[in-house]
Amino acid sequence: MTKKISIAIDGPAGAGKSTVAKIVADRLSYIYIDTGAMYRAFTYKAIKEHINIRSEEDLIRVLKETTIELKHDGQKQIVLLDGKDVTKEIREPDVTNNVSIVAAHKLIRDEMVARQKALGNAGGVVMDGRDIGTNVLPHAELKIFLLASADIRAERRHKENMEKGYPSDLAKIKTNILARDKQDTERKISPLRKAEDAIEIDTSFLSVDEVVSKIIHLANERIEVS
Ligand code: CDP
Ligand code: CDP
């Protein structure tokens, strides 16, 4: 019987984490867990309920009574917040601009990380985020750190918005990406950084297929020896 391994994929916004993680999970018949969607769903609730997002105490009280579920409908991920589908709403600019502030609080991270560990502890999982290899799945058999230049990451997001028919401003996207890079890498609690044993892949000049192939190859090497 082949052992099911855990795969951690980290990196900054727009590096391609969720796109490749979804495909890799599908190819291996593993579960895909988008941890960013969990922080986004909770941020959406905090904004909607006018919670002071600078107040860790107010936020944690609400988070303790909040359910966040990630469901999969073929290639599509559905995010349920307290049972309600918020898949689209969590990508709105208001959420994107505030999520890194919410995600910097220690109590919020402790609670989210506990939930993510529970989702991933059986193996057979591809999880993407910022602190998966360093903190959520420190024993993952395969850790990947994806990166790409900020210009390329902003252009990817812009293209994605245009294709979906959403309003999009390239300069604003780049400003947001740089601000989140800064907040995510400089926060005190589990900042975005490459785990020592992670394999770095610069996706700037690679296609999605090329990145997926590299990761599947690395995964198979580990599945075969485990
Ligand atoms: O998809 P995108 O790269 O824009 O971001 P995301 O993965 O949806 O994550 C949104 C935000 O959640 C990040 O900018 C981080 O502030 C936070 N996050 C985190 O702190 N830790 C994670 N494991 C995942 C996301
Ligand atoms: O999850 P993360 O924020 O790291 O990135 P994403 O949401 O997967 O968005 C990356 C965008 O860049 C998607 O539109 C992909 O089709 C595109 N892309 C990629 O992911 N990887 C490449 N090597 C090239 C393009």
Ligand 2 centre from 52 Cα, in Å? 32
Q: Which atom of ligand 1 is nearest to the CA of 18?
A: 1
Q: Is 146's pLDDT higher than 70? A: yes
**pLDDT of the residue at 3:** 80
Q: Is 12 annotated as a binding residue?
A: yes
**pLDDT of the residue at 76:** 83
3-state helix, strand, coil in the chain (%, to 5): 50, 15, 30
pLDDT exceeding 70 applies to what percent of the chain?
98
Q: Which atom of ligand 1 is nearest to the CA of 184?
A: 16
Q: Tell me the Cα Rg of the chain.
A: 17
Q: Tell me 198's DSSP state.
A: P
Asked whether the CA dihedral 72, 183, 146, 2 is positive or negative, the reply is negative
pLDDT band of residue 1 (cuts 50, 70, 90) is low
Q: Which atom of ligand 1 is nearest to the CA of 116?
A: 23
* Burial class, 2, CB count within 10 angstroms (exposed 0-12 / middle 13-18 / buried 19+): exposed
The residue among 172, 189, 177, 173 whose CA lies nearest residue 148 is 177
Q: What is the pLDDT of residues 94-130, one digit of tens each?
A: 999 999 999 999 999 999 999 999 999 888 999 999 9
Q: Is 153's pLDDT higher than 90? A: yes
The DSSP code sequence of 6-17 is EEEEE-STTSSH
Protein residue with its CA nearest to atom 10 in ligand 1: 36
Listed in sequence order, the residues at least 6 apart from 57 whose beta carbon sits closer than 8 Å to its beta carbon are: 107
The residue among 123, 121, 89, 109 whose CA lies nearest residue 190 is 109
Q: Which atom of ligand 1 is nearest to the CA of 103?
A: 20
Q: What is the pLDDT of residues 168-199, one digit of tens each?
A: 999 999 999 999 999 999 999 999 999 999 99
Taking the whole predicted model, whether its pTM rises above 0.90 is answered as yes
Q: Is 19's pLDDT higher than 80? A: yes
Q: What is the pLDDT of residues 199-208, one digit of tens each?
A: 999 999 999 9
**pLDDT of the residue at 166:** 86
* Residue 66 near residue 58 (C-beta atoms within 8 A): no
Q: Is 75's pLDDT higher than 90? A: no
Q: Is 13 annotated as a binding residue?
A: yes
Across 60-71, average pLDDT: 97
Q: Does domain 6-212 match CATH 3.40.50.300?
A: yes
Ligand 2 centre from 14 Cα, in Å? 5
Ligand 1 centre from 209 Cα, in Å? 23
pLDDT band of residue 37 (cuts 50, 70, 90) is very high
Q: Is 120 annotated as a binding residue?
A: no
Q: Which of 40, 109, 130 most suits a substitution to test ligand 1, by most atoms within 8 Å of the C-beta? A: 130
Asked whether the CA dihedral 8, 11, 13, 14 is positive or negative, the reply is negative
Ligand 2 centre from 148 Cα, in Å? 10
H or E element at residue 142: strand 142-147
Q: Which of 201, 208, 210 most suits a substitution to test ligand 2, by most atoms within 8 Å of the C-beta? A: 208
* Residue 17 near residue 9 (C-beta atoms within 8 A): yes
* Mean model confidence pLDDT for the chain: 95
Q: What are phi and psi of 220, to 5 degrees?
A: -60, -40
Ligand 1 centre from 118 Cα, in Å? 19
As a whole number of angstroms, the distance between CA 92 and CA 44 comes to 9
Q: How far out from the chain centre does Cα 149 lie? A: 18
Domain boundary assignment for the chain: 6-212
The DSSP code sequence of 51-107 is --TT-HHHHHHHHHT--EEEEEETTEEEEEETTEE-TTGGGSHHHHHHHHHHTT-HH
